[in-house]
Homo-oligomer: A and B are copies of this chain.
Amino acid sequence: MIRGTVKGRVWSSKHIETLPNGALLEVDADGATIVAFDPLGCAIGEEVLITQGSVAAAFFTKHKAPVDALIIGSIDET
């Protein structure tokens, strides 16, 4: 997994049908920007863990979702 910081939300009105409803967050990870699906309700500035690839898509069990980046946790502040 990689860790990153939530920078904002992305909206896509025109999308393929199989994109699940839910938040798509822009996450800054070591200078690169990834757009990840967020099932946890994370806020801007939150530190998160992201899993990628087919492992992210496997989270969606009802149908094959075209999601290759998923927020799996929020990192505890220490």
Question: A59, B2: Cβ atoms under 8 Å?
Answer: no
Main SS of the interface on chain A?
Answer: mixed
Q: How many copies does the complex hold?
A: 5
Question: B49, A68: Cβ atoms under 8 Å?
Answer: no
Question: B16, A10: Cβ atoms under 8 Å?
Answer: no
By the criterion of a CB under 8 Å from any partner CB, how many residues of chain A are at the interface?
Answer: 44
Question: B35, A55: Cβ atoms under 8 Å?
Answer: no
A6 within 8 A of B: no
Q: Which residue of B lies closest to A58 (CB)?
A: B64
Task: Please report A residues at the B interface, Cβ cutoff 8 Å.
Answer: 1-3, 10-16, 18-19, 24, 26, 30, 32-36, 39-40, 49, 51-59, 64, 66-70, 72-76, 78
